[in-house]
Structure 1
Amino acid sequence: MTSSSSSTQHRPPTAITATLPFLLFPFILLYLIYSSKLLIYPPHVTTKTTCQDPNLTANDHPKTGYDTELKHIAFCIAASSKLWESRKEYIKLWWRPGETRGAIWLDKQIKIKKNETLPHIHISQDTSRFPYTNRQGHRSAIRISRIVSEALRLGLEDVRWFVMGDDDTVFVVENVVRVLNKYNHDQFYYVGSSSESHYQNIFFSYSMAYGGGGFAISYPLVKELSEMQDRCIKRYPGLYGSDDRMQACMAELNVPLTKELGFHQNDVYGNLLGLLSAHPVTPLVSLHHFDVIDPIFPGKKRVESVKHLLESTKYDSGSLIQQSICYDVGREWTVLVSWGFAVQIVRGILSPREVEMPSRTFVNWYKVVDFTAYAFNTRPVTTHPCQKPFVFYVNSTRYDEVRREIIGIYSVHRERHPSCRWRAESPEKIHTVVVLKQEDPDRWLRAPRKDCCRVLSSKKEGIMYLWVGHCGENEVIEV
């Protein structure tokens, strides 16, 4: 082929090939004229712009999604009879009789007190016929992995999603709806998130939704799963838990994990301040492992702390613990707002790139001081005596009818601060931070973006006023 092409290139032109350019010239000219018109008048394009108008308010944006509501979701809670008396208190925090649907599955019958606001209780079916060979785990993992299939057999009407969780999983139910409404419930979806521990994800799988953080499975996928799950479980006797068995069956169904970072396994120990105050820009869906982490609010018990956190959801559930960053330039302070949770004031100007990373106020699941053990970027807790943050935890949240604003009162957490030689003013004189905010129910219908934060003037000694909300045009965090 090569020699033939080479010989063709050296052939002398014939009369036809010599006059071919002149014959084609009129057609080339017409083509060029037509092309130029296309550049001026493109076909099938209207003059109406599709660009987003920066002046649109939150209420001007069209609503999107699949009209999924709370009534379309069935919660499936895995519980243990041994831990029932303490764990049931977490369920009471988020369960809403008459609104939420679903049930609890226990390993055996328990005494149920009257007038407790809890889901219906079922006893899991016998699983003794299934092999279990993992020496580190417990065979209850098999019964827990079958709960979703058993829930399907209850025959609940008009269910689009089954959401799995543990008895110590706390859901922000409004945000469960927000997240699931993005997905077509008529398709196969397996929605959840990984562990915070890199080691846990390596040992199990980054493709697995961790059960303590909760995960959601669409109705048609649960139907498909229920047809093959028992056969699937028998193929994996050596797996540790229920969630890795679930993922193994999803792999056989060719369904990948759809990751939503708002589901939190909380495979950490210690203080969650650093983790929660730098939450990803996504709705907070769930929290887990409250029995191993410190109470979210110092001085409160664990259940009381979670209840206190959820109180802000009455006013703007979609913004709960979302981070905003701003600066008090005159006093050279960096201010971090985690709405509905905490405000931190740090002396000095820290870049947004730095403070949007969680500070390591916690330790990893294996209690090893190793920053590479996390599945996300973190920053060390500062050792500089001048840059220890002054922390203000939310005290109360209310709606002001006159101002049409949500008012959050954050009170200082009294603790000892090291001596600082900087000439910059100390935040120690601030005892209260007031955060003003407008409700933004459509924030997750827009492209993900943090709220902007502004420091407001104040004539009251010891009180700082902040505003957080939807960023204006050309609004940038800079000093």
Structure 2
Amino acid sequence: MGSSDLWKTLTFSTLFICLIFIFLTNSKNHDLFPFHGDPISSSFSAVDRSGDTPTDLRHVAFGLLGSEKAWHHRKAYIESWWRPNVTRGLLYLDKPPTGGDLLPWSAASPPFRVSEDLTAFVAETRAVAPIMIRMVHGIMEVFREMDGGDLRWVVMGDDDSVFFVDNIVDFLAKYDHRRYYYFGGQSEFVMSNYWFAFDQGFGGAGFVLSYPLAKDLADGMENCLRRHAGENSADLITMHCVADLGVNLTPLKGSHQIDLHGDISGLLSAHPKTPLLSLHHLDLVEPIFPSMDRFDSTRHLMKAAAADQSRMLQQTICYDRRRSWSVSVAWGYSVNIYETIIPRSELQKPVETFQPWSPARRPPPLYMFNTRRLSNTSCESPHVFFLEEVTKVPTGRILTAYARAARRGLPPCHGDAADSVSKILVDSPAGKRVEIDRSECCDIVGVDGDVAKVNFRECAVGEVIA
């Protein structure tokens, strides 16, 4: 080929490529380039959700795994939050209920089923932990019975898991139920996560499966149980089955396994800035209200939850500069008054009123969060007040009253002591807080005799809490 012919060929080729480029970039069919930018987000941005109704409680099914023996003394925990004929779900027992305290079956309890007999399957797979196989298999049993055109999410928990269903629904409503999600809480105790897995959802705190993930797990349940028959933890087997489907855990700070012992008031009084979703192991810690037993404590907490779940345990901090007081409110649970000014960043750390899950002495870190040590000094030891009553007032607000708990005989930190205060009234809006991107602010509006009054409000733009 001569140089002239070569030049003509190159010119024609270049012109042809340019025409193709111009055609494509001006084409109305932009799907010729389906992955502009991030291919994952672009592919899902095409999903049309305009026809979806907002997620509500009818779209969520709860699967609770328990034993007949334990249900005799644990049913009070579930009945504290279960809403008969409203909440959707089932309780799975290991055998039919017996005894006068269980039969006839209480209408305040979830409907029950007896778990499938897996004796032959356990023998076939040589599973090392038959009870754990039964609990994981329960995911399939719940899904199979609850599946329907309106099912979007499956929440699995234990027979002593306390769920805050309004907060759960509000949380899930922000996510597309047609995608793959595995939400769950980690353990508070570092070693529990190390012994099992940092990326598993602990079943007592409860874990959540979106519809397609729950369906895939149910469809492949027996094969997955065969693959992981050598594991001895139900939560770990579940995590493996989820991982086999290409899905990882999204941790939830509002789900609490409570792998702790003793008095957990220090933890509950400094809840992270996220909606409270669940509490577990309440029968293995001291009653959360010191003047009540465990069951009454749970029911008492749920009185505040019935008034406003969005604010449950949310920590709001304000200061009385004239008296040099720091006031920390865990809405619906407690109020702490410190007779000195303590930075908000410090007050957000739970006080170690509790002990670690394992009694063995180990060097720090023990917990999955920063803590403050208990103090015997007057300025750093708070005056503690616990929820007494909740009232919706005609002004359209909620009034919560907190009564003084016993305090060690410490002298005042300074002249303006809080010893005279026996009750604290907190006035808060009745409306649900939809977004919690920022905490609320509060004002100490005065001390009248032995009653201190605190008002909640939204923080002003640029307001500094210090």
Tell me, in whole angstroms, the C-alpha distance in 1 between the residues paired with 2:378 and 2:274.
33
Q: Tell me which amino acid in the other structure corresponds to 1:472.
A: A
Which of the residues 198, 208, 213 maps onto 2:205?
213
- SS where residue 80 of structure 2 aligns? helix
Which of the residues 124, 140, 162 maps onto 2:131?
140
Classify 1:371/1:465 alpha carbon distance in 2 versus 1 (closer, same or farther; 3 Å): farther
Q: Tell me which amino acid in the other structure corresponds to 1:392.
A: F
Contact 2:262/2:355 (<8 A) preserved = yes
Q: Tell me which amino acid in the other structure corresponds to 1:91.
A: I
Task: Indicate whether 1:288 and 2:275 are aligned.
Answer: no
Q: Tell me which amino acid in the other structure corresponds to 2:429.
A: Q
Contact 2:144/2:218 (<8 A) preserved = no
Contact 1:347/1:424 (<8 A) preserved = no
Which of the residues 441, 445, 450 maps onto 1:456?
445
Tell me, in whole angstroms, the C-alpha distance in 2 between the residues paired with 1:387 and 1:429.
18
- SS where residue 406 of structure 2 aligns? coil
Look up the match of 1:400: 393
> How much does 1:273 deviate?
1.1
Which of the residues 193, 196, 201 maps onto 2:185?
193
> How much does 1:450 deviate?
1.2
Which string of whole-angstrom CA distances, capped at 9 and with x for unpartnered residues, describes residues 326-356 of structure 1? 1111111111100010000011111111111
Q: Is the deviation greater in 333-342 or in 123-132?
A: 123-132
Tell me, in whole angstroms, the C-alpha distance in 1 between the residues paired with 2:374 and 2:156.
34
- SS where residue 457 of structure 1 aligns? strand
> How much does 1:101 deviate?
0.7
Which string of whole-angstrom CA distances, capped at 9 and with x for unpartnered residues, describes residues 107-133 of structure 1? 111134234311111111122223456
**Within 5 A, what are the aligned runs for 1:21-100?**
67-100=54-87
Tell me, in whole angstroms, the C-alpha distance in 2 between the residues paired with 1:368 and 1:272.
19
- SS where residue 350 of structure 2 aligns? coil
Which of the residues 454, 460, 463 maps onto 1:472?
460
> How much does 1:449 deviate?
1.3
Tell me, in whole angstroms, the C-alpha distance in 2 between the residues paired with 1:193 and 1:152.
21
Tell me, in whole angstroms, the C-alpha distance in 1 between the residues paired with 2:82 and 2:349.
32
Look up the match of 1:255: 247
Task: Indicate whether 1:383 and 2:373 are aligned.
Answer: no
Q: Tell me which amino acid in the other structure corresponds to 1:336.
A: S
Look up the match of 1:203: 195
**Within 5 A, what are the aligned runs for 1:262-273?**
262-273=254-265
Tell me, in whole angstroms, the C-alpha distance in 1 between the residues paired with 2:135 and 2:68.
13
Look up the match of 2:12: none
Tell me, in whole angstroms, the C-alpha distance in 1 between the residues paired with 2:130 and 2:458.
49
- SS where residue 220 of structure 2 aligns? helix
Tell me, in whole angstroms, the C-alpha distance in 2 between the residues paired with 1:371 and 1:341.
29
Q: Tell me which amino acid in the other structure corresponds to 2:320.
A: D
- SS where residue 399 of structure 2 aligns? strand
Tell me, in whole angstroms, the C-alpha distance in 2 between the residues paired with 1:132 and 1:277.
46
Which string of whole-angstrom CA distances, capped at 9 and with x for unpartnered residues, describes residues 444-472 of structure 1? 3x3521111211024x2111110123212
- SS where residue 92 of structure 2 aligns? strand
**Within 5 A, what are the aligned runs for 1:120-139?**
120-128=111-119, 129-130=121-122, 131=125, 134=128, 138-139=129-130
Contact 1:214/1:263 (<8 A) preserved = yes
Which of the residues 415, 420, 427 maps onto 1:429?
420
Contact 1:386/1:419 (<8 A) preserved = no
Which string of whole-angstrom CA distances, capped at 9 and with x for unpartnered residues, describes residues 120-175 of structure 1? 111111222234565xxx52111011111111221542211110000000011101
Contact 1:168/1:289 (<8 A) preserved = yes
Q: Is the deviation greater in 105-114 or in 362-371?
A: 362-371
Classify 1:155/1:335 alpha carbon distance in 2 versus 1 (closer, same or farther; 3 Å): closer
Contact 1:66/1:183 (<8 A) preserved = no
Contact 1:371/1:378 (<8 A) preserved = no
Structure 2: 5+ residue stretches without partners: 1-51
Task: Indicate whether 1:409 and 2:366 are aligned.
Answer: no
Aligned sequence identity (%): 35
Q: Is the deviation greater in 141-150 or in 464-473?
A: 464-473
Which string of whole-angstrom CA distances, capped at 9 and with x for unpartnered residues, describes residues 291-350 of structure 1? 111101002010100110110122211000100111111111111100010000011111
RMSD: 1.6
Contact 2:155/2:209 (<8 A) preserved = yes
Which of the residues 305, 328, 333 maps onto 1:336?
328
Structure 1: 5+ residue stretches without partners: 1-64
Look up the match of 2:365: 372
> How much does 1:408 deviate?
0.8
Q: Tell me which amino acid in the other structure corresponds to 2:240.
A: A
Contact 1:283/1:318 (<8 A) preserved = yes
Contact 1:388/1:417 (<8 A) preserved = no
Which of the residues 102, 106, 118 maps onto 2:109?
118
| Higher Rg of the two aligned structures | 1
- SS where residue 296 of structure 1 aligns? coil
Tell me, in whole angstroms, the C-alpha distance in 2 between the residues paired with 1:166 and 1:307.
18
TM-score in terms of structure 2 length:
0.84
Q: Tell me which amino acid in the other structure corresponds to 2:334.
A: A
Q: Is the deviation greater in 223-232 or in 322-331?
A: 223-232
Query: How many residues get paired?
Result: 406
> How much does 1:414 deviate?
2.4
